Amino acid sequence: MSQPDVPPLFDRVPAGLFRALGAENGRRYWDVLARLLEELWGEGGRSPGEETQRGVVVRTVESLLAADDPWEEDLDTPVGIRAHGLVNLFVETGWLAQRRRGLVEMVTIRPVVAQFYTVLSEFALHEPEFLGSKVRSIYLNLRAIAAGEASGDQYAEAAKQSKRCMAHIANTGCRVQDLMEALLKRTTAREFVSGFFDDYIQKVFIADYSELRTRDHPLQHRSAIIALTLQFQHDETKREALLRWYQEKVAGGDRVKAELQYERDTRQLMRLREVDQQLQRLDEEIRDANQRAMTFLEYKLRAPKHLDKLIARALHATNAMEEGAIALPAAPDRRHISEWGLAKPRMLARQATATAVERTPPTLDELAMEALRRRMAENRMVKPVHLANYVVRHLGDKRAVSSDELSITSINDLCCYQRLLLIASRSDCPPAMRRSDPMLQMLKRVQITFDDDGITRNGFMEHRRFTIQREHA
């Protein structure tokens, strides 16, 4: 099923909806409209599409204006006439739908308009979100797919939730910056404190932000999500089942488009690996915002009110006094109001003396332990030359060698053996991924693959048998 490049917004909702909100009194119209819809078609009220008499709607608007009039004293028109005018405006712009049933005019709100209103309300009333619940939902969706209880619809939903989760973390940092810039423009400490706690603490923060660094943090399932995503990608059965769903439900039978859609959703899920980096950036933004807020509050609390006026008044009074007045300090030639009289005395900077670094030679035991640690690290290091020497030692002049024939006589041999086993597991990856896998680039002109059957058992591990084979020249 092909999707258009531009969402058909005006094909779904009446174009007049924006006329009321874009008018000069758009804020007041929105206030009355929001309260009217919540009163008649909100929770516990009628469902969208369910009709009511026009008189009921007009009386409801009258009661709303009587309780809280957005126009206050600006208009002298009676409330009843204004209520009829507002209802007519909402009907003309498409917010309300009116039709005649016999002799009675009935009014309702169309379901698509109600859905549009819900989207606008959620956008305007943005509240802190619980990231932990989103991550747990992603994990449960993927686990249901792994257990065979779900299909591609939950995989696509998990990808959407992953994208929203990462976008919310990044957007929170931007909102912190924008809000702090707006708060610092407020002149009084009272306005700043009110905005800091109402707009910043309650509305910007992630709801479970304080739990993200605890042992039972809500993002604890992200490693399992990454593991399940990779498992689906490398398991041919699971991957084929997901691709079949994308091909039938999303791509309209196009296999190439289904694969592209699946890879895109997979990348969205794999982005959860970057959540720690995003949280670190958010931590820095929040620390900076808190520091700026504390500095502003400290300045406002310490600085006297109307400091500039007080200084100007003191200078004017001092200038009007005669020389030698009792209120003036003992300084001839009016030095008390001169630049050198008001300046702070110069303080010579004390030269800092560096403390000597105490040098303690290492003992023989410490030198021996350091050499031992270095030797242990070198033995466990697997470089391409080490891996090549290990393979050549066992392959020799043979065409191929099985994992049953590999010997392990040292720690480095064991590490090379494990690396060969890891390379063999990568052979099940798609060809596009194998070309860019650095692990598969360690050995040239050699192919390592798992056998269809057979198990290798040695003194260290048990695994599927793999074969090391020379490639054709």
Task: For residues 375 and 411, give the distance between their C-alpha atoms in angstroms, rounded to a whole number.
Answer: 11
Chain-centroid distance of CA 247 in Å reads: 30
Q: What is the CATH number of domain 9-124?
A: 1.10.10.10
Task: For residues 168 and 212, give the distance between their C-alpha atoms in angstroms, rounded to a whole number.
Answer: 14
DSSP H or E stretch at residue 454: strand 446-457
Task: For residues 221 and 139, give the distance between their C-alpha atoms in angstroms, rounded to a whole number.
Answer: 7
Q: What are phi and psi of 108, to 5 degrees?
A: -150, 180
Q: What is the pLDDT of residue 2?
A: 44
Residue length of the chain = 473
Enter the DSSP assignment of 53.
E
Helix 26-41 and helix 79-93, axial crossing angle in degrees, nearest 10: 90
* CATH 1.10.10.10 in the chain, residue ranges: 9-124
**Residue 237 near residue 155 (C-beta atoms within 8 A):** no
**Number of C-alpha atoms within 13 angstroms, CB side, residue 90?**
28
Name the token pair of 85: 């005018």
Q: What are phi and psi of 230, to 5 degrees?
A: -65, -35
**What ranges in 307-396 are assigned the alpha helix state H?**
307-320, 339-342, 364-379, 384-395
Beta strands 52-53 and 97-101 are: unpaired
Q: What is the pLDDT of residue 401?
A: 92
DSSP H or E stretch at residue 202: none
Q: What are phi and psi of 199, to 5 degrees?
A: -85, -35
Task: For residues 161 and 135, give the distance between their C-alpha atoms in angstroms, rounded to a whole number.
Answer: 8
Q: What is the pLDDT of residue 73?
A: 63
Enter the DSSP assignment of 338.
S
Q: What is the pLDDT of residue 365?
A: 93
Chain-centroid distance of CA 321 in Å reads: 65
Q: What is the pLDDT of residue 327?
A: 67
Whole-structure pTM value:
0.46
- Beta bridge partners, 400, equal 469
Tens digits of pLDDT across the chain (473 residues): 444 467 788 888 887 888 888 888 888 888 888 888 888 888 777 888 888 888 888 898 888 888 887 777 666 678 888 888 888 988 888 889 888 888 888 988 888 888 888 888 877 776 666 777 788 888 888 988 888 887 888 888 989 888 888 887 777 777 777 777 777 776 676 777 777 766 666 555 555 565 555 555 656 788 888 888 888 888 888 888 888 898 888 888 888 888 898 899 999 888 888 877 877 787 787 788 778 778 877 777 776 666 667 778 877 877 777 776 766 666 656 555 666 666 676 777 888 888 888 888 989 999 999 999 999 999 899 888 999 999 999 988 888 999 999 999 999 999 999 999 888 888 777 766 666 677 777 888 888 888 888 899 988 889 989 999 988 65
